[in-house]
Amino acid sequence: MTENTFPVYTADAIVNFYRTEVLTGQEAKHFTKSDLTPVPKPEAVQTLYMRVLHLLYRFKPECHSMVPLLENIQYPAYNEGATSILSVYVRMRQFLPMCLVYDFSLNDLLAPKKQKTLIILSGILNFLHFRKQRMEMIQEKQAKFRADMDRIQAYNKGNLAAEKKIEMLTTIPPEQQAEADELAAALSELQATTVHEYQEVVSAPPPNSKWKTKIAEKTQKLAQVKLNVTNLKEDITKLKSQIVESPEELKSQMEKMRDNVKNIKNSIEQTDERGVELQSMVQSVTQTEAEMQQMYNLLLDLESSMNNTKQLQEEVQSQLHGSTSKQKELKNLCSEEGQLKRALGMKLDKESKQNIRRQKKREMKEQHCNQIHHKREEMANKIQDISNETQQLKAKIQNLRDVCNKETEKAQALLDTLSTSMDELHRRIEMNIVDLNHDVTKMSANF
């Protein structure tokens, strides 16, 4: 004990700790510093050790005085004090090595010393502090484990709900399966046609540019014709001023002029018709442009819808991946849960076995206690009977003593009378002998 691995506390600290943590009720009130210093009281130290064993192992103090049924003891009541002390000694010898105290002896119970008792109580105090910390950690882990189990259950419920939703979204009812197939086929055909038209539109040159170039050429030609008409009008005015008075030439020129005018009118009409045709063509081109714009918008909508469907498919795939990962996690958690359930089952089995053993031990102890009580009652009855018999024997002995005293007195009186009568008889015999001797001497003298 020269090199301790725990601090040795003072008597005040030890008394305060054991009064608050170990002892209860009147024992805590009556436990003071004087029970440990300057000379520890054996009764207080023994009760303190019993309470420590009860706190740690649920071993009640009254169980220390029980004697096993297998032991055939003739008078177990006489061994109660020694059995309780020896039981505390054996249990403390098993417990104190966990507190790093290895030199506990029977003298520490019967005649404890101050320093040794303080060291032992300090080791137990340190062990109780360590036990309290570990129990708090275990309770925290149990709370975390319960929270994790609740969270796993919530995740399992969420996964089940998500799986049900995915099944609802992915599965098509049988009454709508034909429509869904038709829509899928139509959608695939529409996608193919839209892709083909989109490629043709992208690859083909724009038709508006051709029509615009043609319209520009026609407008240039119209402008040129108008310029020609204006030039001809100017020429006509100039020629009118230069006309010769000859009628034949005038008629020929007028016919030429009429022919030119007719040609010009015809060309103008042709140009007007061509302009109307071009306007109609421009209108048709604008309509086709509008239709192409609508088709382009439809293609854009289809492309956006296809992108949306791709995004939805990607989301569905991501959700499927997430669901697979969650399923894996769920499987892992289920396996962990199974392991934990097995561990809990094992623990529950162990606890049930321990409870059964404890119940059996309690029943054995109760039976033992009942047998001990019956034996005590029987022994008490026997002792009462023996005491009654002893009293009767004492009374008989007293009576016999009285009778013996009386008989001895009578015998003494008889003995006294006999002794006096014997003395008289001996005296008479002596006297007769003397007389006979005297007579014999006389007779011998006469003879």
Block mean pLDDT (10 aa), the chain, length 447: 71 90 86 88 90 86 67 66 82 89 88 90 91 92 92 88 80 74 78 76 60 74 75 68 56 73 76 73 73 75 75 76 76 78 79 82 80 80 85 87 87 86 86 86 76
Cα distances (angstroms) measured from residue 292 to each of 190, 284, 299:
17, 12, 10
Contact 108, 116 (CB under 8 A): yes
If you ran DSSP here, which 8-state letter would residue 5 be given? S
- Write phi, then psi, for 130 (nearest 5 degrees): -60, -40
pLDDT for 139 equals 92
All structural domains of the chain with their residue ranges: 11-70+77-162
**How confident is the model at residue 277, as a pLDDT?**
76
- What's residue 391's pLDDT? 87
**What is the Cα–Cα distance from 243 to 234, expressed in whole angstroms?**
14
How far apart (Å, rounded) are the C-alpha atoms in residues 34 and 38?
A: 7
The per-residue pLDDT for 135 is 92
Q: Note the pLDDT of residue 70.
A: 56
> What sign for the dihedral angle of Cα 103, 106, 109, 110?
negative
Spell out the CATH class of 11-70+77-162.
mainly alpha
Contact 61, 54 (CB under 8 A): yes
Burial class, 121, CB count within 10 angstroms (exposed 0-12 / middle 13-18 / buried 19+): buried
**pLDDT value at position 196?**
78
- Amino acid identity at 371: Q
What was the pLDDT predicted at 317? 76
